[in-house]
Amino acid sequence: MRELTSWLSGGADPDSFPYLPVTAEFHRTGKHFVGKELLALLDETRSHVAARATGTGSADSGPARLLRAFLDVALDKWDGRYDYRSYLALGLLGLPDGGGGGSGDDGPVAELAATREGRDRLLVHLVADALAFELAAATDATDLLPEQRPGPALVAKRYRLGVRAVTPALSRLGLTVDDPRPAAAVAALHALAAADRSAAEERALRLSMLPVYLSHDEYLFIRVLQSYECVFAGLADELRAAIDALDAGRAVTAADRLAYARDQLASAAPLFSLLASMQPESFRTFRAYTEGASAIQSRSYKLMESLCRTPEGSRLDSAAYRSVPELRDRVRAGGPTVDAALRAAVRDGRLAGADRDLVQGRMREFAATVLHWRRTHHRLAVRMLGERPGTGYTEGTPYLAEVRAIPVFTAVAAEPDPAAPSEPSGGCPE
């Protein structure tokens, strides 16, 4: 790789790292098949960046940080530490990556409006980019991931579902896409999202797409998972704010936070429908190379779950929590939960009467939405996987059938979900 060797011999300034040719090489083969020579050069790059940081004390300069985060993602398979977080490049997107640091998920949510806006923008950028890829492939404007292209009907369905998935976030941002022609709506959404991104955000978005193989649908898979990570991180923010409000005796604020969280998760539902449009045979093709990366390792999901209530000991001992040891330790040490905050507020006489009913009602609604999410996820997995085991080393859908009924709260029971089927079906989530 000429660009990389000349960069290495020419001072190796992180600011001028040749991202474009390097990612183009990853895209040419898929991350799983990148040549050893390139990976060895990237490994050398990593040593250079570390040595340079020690020498100049510039470990935290923006370009050096970005390059380290990129190498972390690019070298995961080479290092033998490939997992869900590195597959999705969560560190590059500024989402909690399970490393115990990064995007700051401790303490009170100081600037809630800014945090919410940031999540909305990221969600729009991710989905708009997934749809822009569909549009580019459909119009022969890209040769990225050329295998198993979907047909026009499926692509049109993706346009429709994707635009629907971001419509609530768009309107919160004061933006609209109202062209009735699906492809034109996607083009408009893409233009809006591109104009909204800073150069740094644009670069992070580009670098956060390193599929393991060449199947077209892996692009959609990665972007939908990243989008849900963004949603889960937002839910965790809202739940933390609800706990703070309950502790401070602000029942209406707590109820509002819970309602906002419920709306976030409910309005993201078209993302599952979008993913259900993935071609099962494509999924089975690329998942041969995603072994070891599973959303069972998702930190944001467990953070969300454990902010609702303290999970049972058996759950804390399961693969789900063992894959996020620092979070597991924090939960074991008695981290705050909505459940405990509600109980304490009622016990101490800070929450009673109509206020208590209001908060409990919102908790029930949030719990019903989470349970609905789990049932839909299970159905989607049945459709895509059948009897196959999961890439997170569980037996697959039997694991999901078991965990889907775990109560979200213990202080209140969930409202029955009117949209829930009485029996699990293997159908499409739409």
Residue ranges that bind ligand HEM, judged by CB under 6 A: 224-225, 228, 275, 283, 294-296, 298, 301, 320, 377, 380-381, 384-385, 390-394, 396, 399-400, 403
CB of 99 to ligand HEM, least distance (A): 18
CB of 40 to ligand HEM, least distance (A): 31
Cβ-contact 91, 70 below 8 angstroms: no
Token pair recorded at residue 274: 């979008």
CB of 164 to ligand HEM, least distance (A): 16
User: Which is closer to ligand HEM, CB of 46 or CB of 158?
Assistant: 158
User: Which is closer to ligand HEM, CB of 66 or CB of 265?
Assistant: 265
CB of 110 to ligand HEM, least distance (A): 26
Q: Can you tell me the distance from the alpha carbon of 328 to that of 75, in angstroms, rounded to the nearest whole number?
A: 27
CB of 275 to ligand HEM, least distance (A): 5
Q: Can you tell me the distance from the alpha carbon of 129 to that of 296, in angstroms, rounded to the nearest whole number?
A: 25
Token pair recorded at residue 275: 């993913």
Give the helix ranges, DSSP H, for 309-425. 313-316, 319-322, 325-332, 338-347, 353-385, 397-403
**Looking at residue 150, what DSSP letter applies?**
P
User: Which is closer to ligand HEM, CB of 14 or CB of 392?
Assistant: 392
**Residue length, the chain?**
430
User: Which is closer to ligand HEM, CB of 273 or CB of 394?
Assistant: 394
CB of 187 to ligand HEM, least distance (A): 25
Token pair recorded at residue 35: 């040549």
User: Which is closer to ligand HEM, CB of 168 or CB of 249?
Assistant: 168
Q: Can you tell me the distance from the alpha carbon of 183 to that of 105, in angstroms, rounded to the nearest whole number?
A: 38
Give the helix ranges, DSSP H, for 280-352. 280-286, 299-308, 313-316, 319-322, 325-332, 338-347
- One DSSP character per residue, 55-95 reads HHS-TT-HHHHHHHHHHHHHTHHHHT---HHHHTTTTTTTS
CB of 58 to ligand HEM, least distance (A): 35
Q: Residue 270 carries which side chain, given as an amino acid letter? A: P
User: Which is closer to ligand HEM, CB of 81 or CB of 181?
Assistant: 81
User: Which is closer to ligand HEM, CB of 66 or CB of 224?
Assistant: 224
Q: Can you tell me the distance from the alpha carbon of 183 to that of 186, in angstroms, rounded to the nearest whole number?
A: 5
